[in-house]
Structure 1
Amino acid sequence: MKTELLSLSKFFTENLFRIPDYQRGYSWTETQLKDFWSDLTLLAPNRAHYTGVLTLEEVNQSDFERWPDDLWIIHSKNFTPYYVVDGQQRLTTSLILIQAILEAAGPGVELNYTSSEEIRKKFIFESKDKGISRSYIFGYEKDNPSYEFLKTRIFLEPSDTHSTDEETIYTHNLEAAKAFFLEQLKGKTHGEIESIYTKITQHFLFNIYTMSPGIDVFVAFETMNNRGKPLSNLELLKNRLIFISTLITTDTTERARLRFAINESWKTAYHYLGKNRSKPLYDDQFLFIHFQLYIGRKTDRGPDNENRIYLRRRPEALYKHILLNEIFTTRNINGAVGNRFKIPLTLETIYEYAQDLKRCVKTFYEVFNPEDSNFTTEQQEVLNQISRLGWEHTEPLIIAAIHTNPSPEALTSLLKNIERYMFVRTFRPYVSEFERVDFLELATDLVSTQATVESTATSIHQTIESYINRNPVRTMSDDWSSKGHYSWDGLNYLLFEYEQDLKRYGKSPRDKISWPDFTSEDYDNDYETIEHIYPQRARDKYWTSRFSKFSQRQKRILQDSLGNLLALSRPKNSALGNLPFPIKRDGTGTTGGYIYGSYSENEAATYAEWTADSILDRGIRILNFIERRWGLPMGDTAVKTRFLGLDFVVAMAEKRNVVAATTQATPAPLPSDQALEADTPAGSNPAESQPAPSTRRN
């Protein structure tokens, strides 16, 4: 190897730089950009900064002959074309910064006695005889989606193609990097901008290595990228497949076609993984799920075969090893040496794998973004519900099911059974008898046996019903912690679904609570999205007058019982939650009350007072909803009361009634099956039980 220590200004002289197709795209995020900017701004004048290694490979003539836009500058001006094997992230960042500097300085401005036109000519592009032919000094190969994006959105050059920019995670990173630098340069004087330009072009030094002919560039690429920001497994696999494609014995046209197919599949993958900017998907998560489905089809049938046992040991730790060291290795070319899955690497099998990955990523994206799909409205909602519950490794089964092209009814049934299973298991934790559903095993059966979507849905349904039949409803004291229902992991999901159910019977179709806001952890600790209606710090006379008859333990149970927990339409300062109920309900001049809040808050506002009877009443209302929504029997009113841990409320009421009867007074109405199933408050489900009449507003 030749090695030199050069500045950008020196090695951007009569050289062209291209990022080859086996390289990943631009992966730096704000963390790396801040470090880069810090190195730049803290560098003292006239001091040099060692930026790192830049490894280059001189491009063969057979390769650059495929670059029609660059042939003139290579042949006529003797520019030397190089592939950037290692260091492309630092190099790309430097060029983005130079472009940002030019934009911040403005047109016609000189930096270090050099016009902006001359700077662009040195670092961005050369023009042929000042005509329309341009050769870009640095960039991607032309079939890379980042090529057009870098040219048009970063360098602000016109496009010669009719197609719009194709966006991926990598193009989003390019755009974010430019926005970052423009923000840092905003408001700086000409002298400050000129100083930054001097540092990046003159004082940031790269250790330039030019690889000697004969060195395996693909192996070198993998080795070099073990340092710095590591390559994802998806990025490593692309490099490996392209490498293997160069070694397969076939004609040149077939090899070129295979390489093109691999690039197109990965281009599609990164397009979908980054398509939703607000919720980008993780490439290694996708590769792991695709691996499970692809290898699942290659395993022997039945749960007891050796390969399945091997895969189930530690699948997330094993899958990279299996892909890169057992299947896609050079020793398996045209054979299956030491390959337990007996997959020979031929042109056909690699092509099949790339096409399968390309097909899978679209479905993967749609499962996580159901609104941008052809799923029915009901299927979209259930997928969102499963997402709120946390997926729990259900994705392979869902994707496998979709790929069997089931009827809409069959797919909807499967999704509903998955969501129901996840809720029931969350709602009744710590029960050893609950037979866990192995979603990965079901997915493997779906792609490798005669299993159907219908039979899979039935299997999950039977597991749920068997569990329900074996396990009666527990009381709160059975396994709830000292924080009662408030400590339950599934509380947000339950209250959100209850809110959605109330919305269906309300006058407005709009959502008043969004799931991201409801579950966000960005709010200050003093702000809440779930409120204790009877507050945890209940010192106001309103609360002490109504709850002083209860012991401290009973007060804590009431505070953390299900009926006392309320989903708020917006985070509220926890101090407001200590106010008397009438103020919380009706609001003040500056603070909106429950009557202006979520559907759940609107329902709470129908109560005239907030007492222990109200907490019991609303808790039973929510348990009735659980029965109806998930088909989970919760028992009669007495059993539900015990589940809520509020037996003492009923006992105290009964005691009052006995006293009232002995004094011939009219007894206070007690919660009963009949009373709790009477008339429905406005905005609630008529099928639900109701508050005791004495607690309702007239």
Structure 2
Amino acid sequence: MDNQLQSISRIFTERLYRIPDYQRGYAWTEKQLKDFWNDIIQLENDKNHYVGVLTLEKVPFENFDKWDDDKWIIKSKSFEPYYIVDGQQRLTTTIILIQAITEIISRKETLNYSTSDEIRKRYIFDSKDGGISRSYIFGYERDNPSYEFLKTKIFLENSGPSYLKEETIYTHNLLFAKDFFKEKLKELNKSEVEVVFRKITQNFLYNIYSITSDIDVFVAFETMNNRGKPLSNLELLKNRLIYISTKFEVDESEKVQLRKRVNDSWKAVYHYLGRNKERPLKDDFFLMNHYMIYFGNEIPSDANQSWMRLRRIQTFFRDRYEENLLEHKFSLKNLNYEGDKKLTINDVNNYIESLQKSVEIWFNVYNPTFTKDYSDEEKLLLDKLYRIGMQHFAPLLLICYLKKPHKSTRIKLLIAIERLSFIFMLSEFRILPSFFEFNKYTIQVAKGDLTVVDLEKKINEYIEEKINQKDFIIELRKKFGGEGFYDWAGIRYFLFEYELSIKDKSKTKRTKIDWLEYSNEKDDFITVEHIYPQTPKEDCWKNSFNIYTIKQRRILNNSLGNLLPLSRPKNSSLQNKCFQEKIDNSLNKVGFRYGSYSENEVSKLSEWNPKDILERGVRLLEFAEQRWQIPLGDYASKVQILNLEFLNP
């Protein structure tokens, strides 16, 4: 440990920094960036700020001897190359901020008596005699997809023709950080920017810790945390597998090849997890579900599948998967076992191959519009599963798609799963063991004990068994008889499906509701409207509804027929208006007449009273009955489910 705290300006003196392959990429998001920026702004001008420890490892000669772009600066200028073991998130953030500063000042301007070119030469890159060669002072190792991204999108440097423009969650974070800082810097005048530059280069201080050769750098990495952003299990696993690759008693070429395959697999994984920038996929959720299908064969086929047994399966695969992966499956002690338990280089290779193959399917299942391999019907069904929430069936979908069943089989399976998901959401009746049971099906499909065709049959048999139980409708009456449908977890999905059914019958077929906007209600803006308002102060409502008790009016308010999906979030102040004002507000065109298909349907009525709530509620239940093939009984039974018997004494 260097006892003297060092600033960035000292740290970036005759040194090159590289982020090694076992490190994760840039993981900071808006929360960490805001904290970093606030630390800068709130730091008093005559004070220093302790950032933390920067842990470094000297790059061995056999490694940097392969760095053709950097040999000249190491040899001629005596720059020392270092790997960053810990602190790369803070250091990367600092370099991105410095780059952003150089972009907002002109090349003729100086910042604290340095031009932008001089700043870049100090912190970004140096070149031989001002030529076209580049040695980047800070960056990733060349085979990391973030290497070229940092160079081209952050440093604004040209790239070679072989650049594949690979993007991952990490590259998205790099660009977000740069845009974040540029927006913040635009709010400052030149003198304030100079203060920011001085603070981050002179007043942000680090302890420098150099790892010596007697310390295993991989083990050290696993024990270190980054500020506010702990390593994910997927990131820890990559480091562990690279570590293990160095310990096998095989030819050196085999070790090198395995390490390369680990890096290539993780490139693919993070590429697909972050490919859709609008909704990136969670890395540990993918890892957990892949673990279930890959190691599912460890559960005996003839195991007692009681409820408690299924619960233990759930715990083993979902709650303790990271412990099993890191402490049991891929641990150093497994290299020393004999027989079947011994971990081999082929075990690691087979696992990472499966991981790489699975992540593409995982992405396509969550983002069906990105692939040409699925039919329009299949894409539509997968989109529905995404909206309803496929997390409980995600491992089942993954293993089924890995089995490559025929398209018609996949479609039948998706129809069955969507139907089952809705019934689960509708009834919430004895469903907890069911999720455990479907984990059992996942394992059976993974082992080959159950085909995808038979799985689809089992799901439909399970559905029929549930909905034909005598107390199924009784449970629905209990569920919705109290607070109604407004707080039901499935209300948005249900109303959205009804909206689509009206759209399909319309002449225009134009989509009027955006699911992402509709499903994320925030603060004072609503996406599901109470037509008869929750606080009916106007006489227009009192005349029709005040003949009922307070309890009955609350039931009417939250009844299914009184709920309406809005085409866009609308201010809650509109809720209390009279029905005619809700239909047509010509001043700003936010009325039902200008909204969704469901709003248009309601706008055809001249008034809104309890009878309309009842009739629309029954109509919606009839839609559910037909759409999901659920027997909900006759008219009287539907009125009971709606808890509106008092309207038909």
- Partner deviation per Cα, 1:635-675 (whole Å, 9 max, x = no partner): 12222222222223223xxxxxxxxxxxxxxxxxxxxxxxx
Distance 1:399 1:462 in 2: 22
Distance 1:433 1:144 in 2: 43
Distance 1:26 1:312 in 2: 32
Match of 2:388 in 1: 389
Shift of 1:79: 1.5
User: Structure 1 residues 556 and 7 mapped into 2: Cα distance closer, same or farther (>3 Å)?
Assistant: closer
Distance 2:150 2:119 in 1: 17
Distance 2:568 2:118 in 1: 55
**Alignment partner of 1:241: what SS?**
helix
Distance 1:599 1:449 in 2: 46
Q: Indicate the larger mover: 583-592 or 423-432.
A: 583-592
Which runs of 5 or more residues in structure 1 are unaligned? 652-698
| Alignment of structure 1 residues 273-352 onto 2, 5 Å | 273-304=273-304, 311-333=313-335, 335=337, 343-352=341-350
Distance 2:576 2:170 in 1: 49
- Partner deviation per Cα, 1:525-555 (whole Å, 9 max, x = no partner): xx43222223333343433333343333333
Distance 1:561 1:540 in 2: 20
Distance 1:636 1:452 in 2: 38
Shift of 1:588: 4.1
Indicate whether 1:563 and 2:565 are aligned.
no
| Alignment of structure 1 residues 128-147 onto 2, 5 Å | 128-147=128-147
Match of 2:620 in 1: 622
Computing the radius of gyration over CA atoms, which structure comes out larger, 1 or 2?
Answer: 1
User: Structure 1 residues 585 and 46 mapped into 2: Cα distance closer, same or farther (>3 Å)?
Assistant: closer
User: Structure 1 residues 629 and 349 mapped into 2: Cα distance closer, same or farther (>3 Å)?
Assistant: same
| Alignment of structure 1 residues 171-210 onto 2, 5 Å | 171-210=171-210
Give yes or no for contact 2:86–2:221 (8 Å, CA) kept in 1.
Answer: yes
Q: Indicate the larger mover: 301-310 or 79-88.
A: 301-310
Tell me which amino acid in the other structure corresponds to 2:427: R
Shift of 1:16: 1.0
| Alignment of structure 1 residues 546-557 onto 2, 5 Å | 546-557=544-555
Give yes or no for contact 2:96–2:154 (8 Å, CA) kept in 1.
Answer: yes
Match of 1:416 in 2: 415
Shift of 1:328: 0.4
Distance 1:435 1:171 in 2: 39
Q: Indicate the larger mover: 612-621 or 357-366.
A: 612-621
| Alignment of structure 1 residues 605-644 onto 2, 5 Å | 605-644=603-642
- Partner deviation per Cα, 1:597-656 (whole Å, 9 max, x = no partner): 2111122123343233222221121111111100001112222222222223223xxxxx
Shift of 1:592: 4.1
Give yes or no for contact 2:86–2:226 (8 Å, CA) kept in 1.
Answer: no
Give yes or no for contact 1:7–1:206 (8 Å, CA) kept in 2.
Answer: yes
| Alignment of structure 1 residues 52-451 onto 2, 5 Å | 52-225=52-225, 229-304=229-304, 311-333=313-335, 335=337, 343-373=341-371, 374-431=373-430, 438-451=437-450
Tell me which amino acid in the other structure corresponds to 1:106: S
TM-score (norm 2): 0.94
**Alignment partner of 1:195: what SS?**
helix
Give yes or no for contact 1:476–1:645 (8 Å, CA) kept in 2.
Answer: no
Indicate whether 1:596 and 2:598 are aligned.
no
Shift of 1:586: 4.0
- Partner deviation per Cα, 1:248-267 (whole Å, 9 max, x = no partner): 11112111111100001011
Match of 1:528 in 2: 526
User: Structure 1 residues 540 and 344 mapped into 2: Cα distance closer, same or farther (>3 Å)?
Assistant: same
Indicate whether 1:498 and 2:498 are aligned.
yes
Match of 1:689 in 2: none
Shift of 1:161: 3.5
Tell me which amino acid in the other structure corresponds to 1:137: I
Indicate whether 1:463 and 2:465 are aligned.
no
Distance 1:161 1:4 in 2: 45
Match of 1:580 in 2: 578
User: Structure 1 residues 226 and 324 mapped into 2: Cα distance closer, same or farther (>3 Å)?
Assistant: farther
Shift of 1:296: 1.1
Distance 1:253 1:50 in 2: 43
Distance 1:606 1:492 in 2: 22
Overall identity of the aligned pairs, in %: 47
Distance 1:113 1:575 in 2: 55
Give yes or no for contact 2:32–2:228 (8 Å, CA) kept in 1.
Answer: no
**Alignment partner of 2:473: what SS?**
coil
Indicate whether 1:485 and 2:516 are aligned.
no
User: Structure 1 residues 105 and 617 mapped into 2: Cα distance closer, same or farther (>3 Å)?
Assistant: same
- Partner deviation per Cα, 1:357-401 (whole Å, 9 max, x = no partner): 111111111121121122222222222222222224210000100
Match of 1:15 in 2: 15
Tell me which amino acid in the other structure corresponds to 1:623: L
- Partner deviation per Cα, 1:396-437 (whole Å, 9 max, x = no partner): 000100000011111111111111111112212345799556
Distance 1:261 1:509 in 2: 48
Give yes or no for contact 1:311–1:318 (8 Å, CA) kept in 2.
Answer: no
**Alignment partner of 2:245: what SS?**
helix
Give yes or no for contact 1:531–1:577 (8 Å, CA) kept in 2.
Answer: yes
User: Structure 1 residues 534 and 211 mapped into 2: Cα distance closer, same or farther (>3 Å)?
Assistant: closer
Q: Indicate the larger mover: 299-308 or 546-555.
A: 299-308
Q: Indicate the larger mover: 42-51 or 69-78.
A: 42-51
Tell me which amino acid in the other structure corresponds to 1:443: T
Distance 2:44 2:587 in 1: 57
Tell me which amino acid in the other structure corresponds to 2:526: E
Give yes or no for contact 1:475–1:644 (8 Å, CA) kept in 2.
Answer: no
Number of aligned residues: 645
Shift of 1:34: 1.9
Distance 1:239 1:321 in 2: 15
User: Structure 1 residues 307 and 212 mapped into 2: Cα distance closer, same or farther (>3 Å)?
Assistant: farther
Distance 2:540 2:48 in 1: 71
Q: Indicate the larger mover: 118-127 or 532-541.
A: 532-541
User: Structure 1 residues 618 and 45 mapped into 2: Cα distance closer, same or farther (>3 Å)?
Assistant: closer
Shift of 1:234: 0.5
Match of 1:683 in 2: none
Shift of 1:450: 2.7
User: Structure 1 residues 197 and 554 mapped into 2: Cα distance closer, same or farther (>3 Å)?
Assistant: closer
Distance 2:501 2:215 in 1: 65
User: Structure 1 residues 586 and 203 mapped into 2: Cα distance closer, same or farther (>3 Å)?
Assistant: closer
User: Structure 1 residues 548 and 208 mapped into 2: Cα distance closer, same or farther (>3 Å)?
Assistant: closer
Tell me which amino acid in the other structure corresponds to 2:353: Q
**Alignment partner of 1:209: what SS?**
strand
Shift of 1:574: 3.5
Give RMSD over aligned pairs.
2.4
Distance 1:211 1:569 in 2: 58
Tell me which amino acid in the other structure corresponds to 1:31: K
Give yes or no for contact 2:427–2:476 (8 Å, CA) kept in 1.
Answer: no
Distance 2:129 2:403 in 1: 58
Q: Indicate the larger mover: 558-567 or 214-223.
A: 558-567
Tell me which amino acid in the other structure corresponds to 1:161: P
Distance 2:539 2:291 in 1: 62
- Partner deviation per Cα, 1:467-492 (whole Å, 9 max, x = no partner): 11113523875332532222322211
Match of 1:664 in 2: none
